[in-house]
Amino acid sequence: MFTLNEDERAIGETARQFADEFLAPNALEWDEQKHFPVDVLRKAGPLGLGGIYVREDVGGSGLRRLDAVRIFEQLATGCPAVAAYISIHNMAAWMIDAYGTEEQRRRWLPGLTSMELLGSYALTEPGVGSDAAALSTKAVRDGDDYILNGAKQFISGAGANDVYVLMVRTGDEGARGISALIVPADTPGLSVGPNERKMGWNAQPTRQVVLEDVRVPVANRLGAEGDGFRIAMNGLNGGRLNIAACSVGGAQAALDKAVPYLADRQAFGKPLNKNQALQFELADMRTGLEAARTLLWRAAAALDADAPDKVELCAMAKRFATDVGFEVANKALQLHGGYGYLHEYGLEKIVRDLRVHQILEGTNEIMRVVVARSVIGAA
C-alpha cells in the first residue's frame, strides 16, 4: 500500500499535472469571481477523471478507491473546491454504475464519464441535515412515472449540471421508505434557487433544488423501491474518503507554501525557519498529514476489499483527515503572519475551502457516532 509501483505513480502524476496546469493558476480568480470552470471540467473527462471507479465498458477508468484518494489529493493541491466537485460527480456516476440496470448504465454513464454531462448527488433537505433518513421529498407513483414534490438543499453543481442522483420518499417513514432516482436537470417542474453566498467553495455553485410536480419515469429508479437509503450511504463511503483526500491535498499545498516562506522571511536577524518553535510547528504539520494520509489509504483499501469494518474506517478517515487538513492549513496561514490573511497568497482560500469538509458528507460529529457504534457493538 505504501510503496507505489510505476502505474500508481503515473496515475498520481497525471492528476498533479492537471492540477498544476489547469487548476492552480486559476484558483484564486475562480474563487473571487465565483466561477464554475465547466470548460476545465470537460478537459478532465478524457483523462479518466469523470468515472475514476466506474467500469470501463461505459468509459470509466475502472480504478480502485485507493487510486481515487491519491488522485483527489493531487487535484486538491490545485483547487480543493473544484477537486471536491469532481468527487461529487464521481459519486453520482458510481451509484449509477453500481446499482443501475444495463440500460441505465449505457444511457447515462458515457456522458458522465467523459464529463460531457455533469452529475450531482442530492440527499440533503432543508431542515433535515444529519438525520438524512427523515427526508420528506415525496415521489408518488402514477402509472409508469413518479411525481416528485419537495426540495433539496446544498446541492453542489446545481444549476450548471445535467443529472441528479436524487433520494426521495416512495414509502413509509424512515430509511426503508427511501428510493433513488436519476433525474435529468432539464425535467419540467425542476428549478434551482440562487447560488448560495458561502465562506468557501466559491468555484462551484451550491443551490437549492425545488421539485414541483416533476414527472420522472419509474425506469429511472436505481434498484428496487426502498433501496435508496442503502445506495446513498454506500455512495457516501467513497465520498467521505474523497473529501478527506481533498483536505490532505489542500493542506499539503498550504504546507508547501509555508516552508519556502519561512526560509525567505527574516525576523530578529535570521530566517524564520531557524526558529525552533516554528520548526516544531512544521514537524507537527508534516506528521499530522502523514498520519491522515496513512489512515486514508488504509480505509480506501478496506473499501476496495469490501472489508467488514469499511464503514467505520471510512468514517475515521473522513473525521481525522478533514480535522487535520483544516488545522494544518490554518497553521500555515498563521506562519505567514499578516500575509497569510491576504487573498493573493492563497492561504486564506485554502482555509475557507477546507472548513466545510468537516461538515459535508456527514459531519465529523456524525463520523464519531458511526465509529462509536462500531466500538460499542464490538464490546
User: Is beta strand 266-267 parallel, antiparallel or unpaired with respect to 270-271?
Assistant: antiparallel
- Per the structure block, which three cell numbers stand in for 19? 492540477
**6, 73, 361, 365: which one is catalytic?**
361
> Does the annotation count 173 as an active-site position?
no
Beta bridge partners of residue 216, listed in sequence order: 146
d(Cα 357, Cα 187) in Å, to the nearest integer? 30
Active site residues per annotation: 361
